[in-house]
Chain A
Amino acid sequence: MIALLARLGLKPRPLTLKLIRMLGSMRLQVLAVSLVVTAGTAVHVMMNGVVNSLFITRDTYYAEAMMAHLWAPAVRIPGGIVETLARHPGVARAEPRIAAAAILDMPGETAPVKARVISLPEGRQPFINRLHLTGGHLPDAHTDDLVIADEFAEAHGLKPGDTIEAVLYGAKKRFRITGTALSAEFIYAIPPGELIPDPRRFAVFWMPERAVSRAFKMEGAYNEILFRLMPGAMEADVKAAADRLLLPYGGGNTYGRDTQLSNQFIESEFQQLNVTGGIIPPIFMGVAAYLLNIVVSRITDQERGQIGLMKAFGYTDAAIARHYLIFAYAMVALGVAAGFIVGTRMGGGLAEIYRAYYQFPSLEFTAGLPVYLQGLGLAFLAATVGVFIAMRRVIALRPAVAMSPPAPTDYSHLRLDSPLFARLDQGLRLILRHLVRWPVRSALTCLGIALGMTIMVAAHSMFDGVNFMMQLQFQSLNRQDVTVGFIEDQGEGIVHEMAALPGVQRVEPFYAAPAILKAGTYERALSLTGRWPDTKLSLMENEAGEAVPVPPHGLAISASLSERLQVGVGDTIHVEFRTGARKRVDLPVVHIFTTYIGLSALIDHNELAALTGLGPRVSGVHLEVDPARMDDLYAALKKAPKVAAVTSNANAYAVMRAMMDENLNTMNLFNTAFASLIAFGVVFSSARISFAERVREIATLRVLGFSRADVNLVLLGELGILIFLALPLGGFMGRQLAGMLAAKMSSELFRVPEVTAPWTYGYATLIIVIAAAISGWMVMKQVRTLDLVSALKYSD
Chain B
Amino acid sequence: MTRRERAPCFEIGGLTKIYGEGEAAVAALRGIDLTIGDGELVVLLGPSGSGKSTFLNILGGLDAPSAGHVRFHGADITKFDDRDLTRWRRDSVGFIFQSYNLMPGLTADENVRLVTEIAADPMPVSEALEAVGLAKRGKHFPSELSGGEQQRVAIARAIAKRPKVLLCDEPTGALDSATSRRVLEVLVDVARREQATVIMVTHHQGIAPIADRVIRFRDGQVEEDVRNDNPLTTAEITL
16 cross-chain CB contacts under 8 A = A408-B104, A409-B104, A410-B143, A411-B106, A425-B117, A426-B106, A434-B105, A697-B104, A705-B90, A705-B93, A705-B115, A705-B119, A706-B86, A710-B118, A789-B57, A792-B97
* Chain A neighbourhood of B115, CB < 8 A: 704-705
Known: A426-B114, A429-B110, A789-B57. A707 touches B83 (CB 8 A): yes
Chain A residues engaging chain B, CB cutoff 8 angstroms: 407-412, 415, 417, 425-426, 429-430, 433-434, 437, 696-697, 699-708, 710, 788-789, 792, 794
**Contact pick for A430, options B83, B89, B95, B103, CB 8 Å:** B103
Chain B residues engaging chain A, CB cutoff 8 angstroms: 53, 57, 60, 62-63, 82-83, 86-91, 93, 95, 97, 99, 101-107, 110, 113-115, 117-119, 139-144, 150, 157, 161
B70–chain A nearest beta-carbon distance, Å: 16
**Contact pick for A409, options B53, B93, B143, CB 8 Å:** B143
CA distance A759 to B207 in the complex (A): 70
- Closest A residue to B105 by CB, please name it: A433
CA distance A788 to B62 in the complex (A): 6
CA distance A415 to B139 in the complex (A): 8
* Chain A neighbourhood of B150, CB < 8 A: 408
Known: A430-B103, A700-B103. A789 touches B63 (CB 8 A): yes
CA distance A699 to B142 in the complex (A): 17
**Contact pick for A703, options B62, B117, B142, B143, CB 8 Å:** B62
Task: State whether A411 touches B62 (Cβ < 8 A).
Answer: no
Task: State whether A426 touches B62 (Cβ < 8 A).
Answer: no
Of B53, B101, B119, the most chain A CB neighbours within 10 A belong to: B101
- Closest B residue to A699 by CB, please name it: B101
* Chain B neighbourhood of A408, CB < 8 A: 102, 104, 141-143, 150
**Contact pick for B89, options A410, A412, A705, A710, CB 8 Å:** A705
CA distance A544 to B105 in the complex (A): 53
Task: State whether B86 touches A429 (Cβ < 8 A).
Answer: no
**Contact pick for B82, options A425, A699, A708, A710, CB 8 Å:** A708
* Chain B neighbourhood of A426, CB < 8 A: 106, 110, 113-114, 117
Of B110, B113, B114, B115, the most chain A CB neighbours within 10 A belong to: B114
Task: State whether B103 touches A412 (Cβ < 8 A).
Answer: no
* Chain A neighbourhood of B113, CB < 8 A: 426
* Chain A neighbourhood of B143, CB < 8 A: 407-412
- Closest A residue to B161 by CB, please name it: A705
CA distance A788 to B95 in the complex (A): 13
CA distance A429 to B111 in the complex (A): 11
Of B104, B110, B141, the most chain A CB neighbours within 10 A belong to: B104
CA distance A159 to B97 in the complex (A): 90
* Chain A neighbourhood of B90, CB < 8 A: 704-706
**Contact pick for B105, options A425, A430, A706, CB 8 Å:** A430
Of A699, A710, A788, the most chain B CB neighbours within 10 A belong to: A788
Task: State whether B102 touches A703 (Cβ < 8 A).
Answer: no
A558–chain B nearest beta-carbon distance, Å: 60
Task: State whether A430 touches B144 (Cβ < 8 A).
Answer: no
Task: State whether A433 touches B82 (Cβ < 8 A).
Answer: no
* Chain A neighbourhood of B139, CB < 8 A: 415, 417
Task: State whether A703 touches B106 (Cβ < 8 A).
Answer: no
Known: A426-B110, A792-B97. A703 touches B104 (CB 8 A): no
CA distance A538 to B186 in the complex (A): 91
Task: State whether B107 touches A415 (Cβ < 8 A).
Answer: yes
Q: A430-B103, A700-B102 are in contact. List 6 more A-B contacts (CB 8 A).
A: A408-B142, A409-B104, A696-B101, A699-B101, A789-B57, A789-B63
CA distance A261 to B157 in the complex (A): 79
- Closest A residue to B98 by CB, please name it: A794
A219–chain B nearest beta-carbon distance, Å: 94
CA distance A699 to B103 in the complex (A): 11
Task: State whether B86 touches A707 (Cβ < 8 A).
Answer: yes
CA distance A417 to B62 in the complex (A): 34
CA distance A757 to B104 in the complex (A): 45
CA distance A441 to B106 in the complex (A): 20
CA distance A702 to B103 in the complex (A): 12
Task: State whether B87 touches A705 (Cβ < 8 A).
Answer: yes
Task: State whether B118 touches A412 (Cβ < 8 A).
Answer: no
* Chain A neighbourhood of B157, CB < 8 A: 704
CA distance A777 to B139 in the complex (A): 36
A702–chain B nearest beta-carbon distance, Å: 8
B12–chain A nearest beta-carbon distance, Å: 18
- What 5 A-B pairs are tightest by C-beta distance, nearest first? A705-B90, A408-B104, A433-B105, A408-B142, A410-B143
Known: A705-B118, A789-B62, A792-B97. A409 touches B89 (CB 8 A): no
B49–chain A nearest beta-carbon distance, Å: 14
**Contact pick for B86, options A412, A697, A705, CB 8 Å:** A705
- Closest B residue to A406 by CB, please name it: B104
A485–chain B nearest beta-carbon distance, Å: 75
- Closest B residue to A433 by CB, please name it: B105
CA distance A697 to B104 in the complex (A): 8
Of B88, B97, B105, the most chain A CB neighbours within 10 A belong to: B105
CA distance A407 to B147 in the complex (A): 10
Task: State whether B101 touches A700 (Cβ < 8 A).
Answer: yes
- Closest A residue to B54 by CB, please name it: A789
Task: State whether B105 touches A412 (Cβ < 8 A).
Answer: no
Task: State whether B60 touches A410 (Cβ < 8 A).
Answer: no
CA distance A710 to B93 in the complex (A): 18
Task: State whether A704 touches B89 (Cβ < 8 A).
Answer: yes
B1–chain A nearest beta-carbon distance, Å: 36
A183–chain B nearest beta-carbon distance, Å: 72
- Closest B residue to A791 by CB, please name it: B62
Task: State whether A703 touches B95 (Cβ < 8 A).
Answer: yes
- Closest B residue to A431 by CB, please name it: B105
- Closest A residue to B97 by CB, please name it: A792
* Chain B neighbourhood of A430, CB < 8 A: 103, 105-106
* Chain A neighbourhood of B103, CB < 8 A: 430, 697, 700-701
* Chain A neighbourhood of B62, CB < 8 A: 703, 788-789, 792
Task: State whether B91 touches A705 (Cβ < 8 A).
Answer: yes
**Contact pick for A704, options B104, B105, B114, CB 8 Å:** B114
* Chain B neighbourhood of A434, CB < 8 A: 105
A36–chain B nearest beta-carbon distance, Å: 31
- Closest A residue to B86 by CB, please name it: A707
- Closest B residue to A409 by CB, please name it: B104
A359–chain B nearest beta-carbon distance, Å: 66
* Chain A neighbourhood of B144, CB < 8 A: 412
* Chain B neighbourhood of A433, CB < 8 A: 105-106
CA distance A408 to B105 in the complex (A): 9
CA distance A412 to B144 in the complex (A): 7
* Chain B neighbourhood of A710, CB < 8 A: 118
* Chain A neighbourhood of B83, CB < 8 A: 707
* Chain A neighbourhood of B97, CB < 8 A: 792
Task: State whether B141 touches A410 (Cβ < 8 A).
Answer: yes
Known: A704-B90, A788-B63. A411 touches B104 (CB 8 A): yes
B214–chain A nearest beta-carbon distance, Å: 25
- Closest A residue to B93 by CB, please name it: A705
Task: State whether B110 touches A792 (Cβ < 8 A).
Answer: no
CA distance A708 to B82 in the complex (A): 9
CA distance A272 to B113 in the complex (A): 59
**Contact pick for B141, options A412, A697, A705, CB 8 Å:** A412
CA distance A6 to B137 in the complex (A): 56
A761–chain B nearest beta-carbon distance, Å: 34
* Chain A neighbourhood of B117, CB < 8 A: 425-426
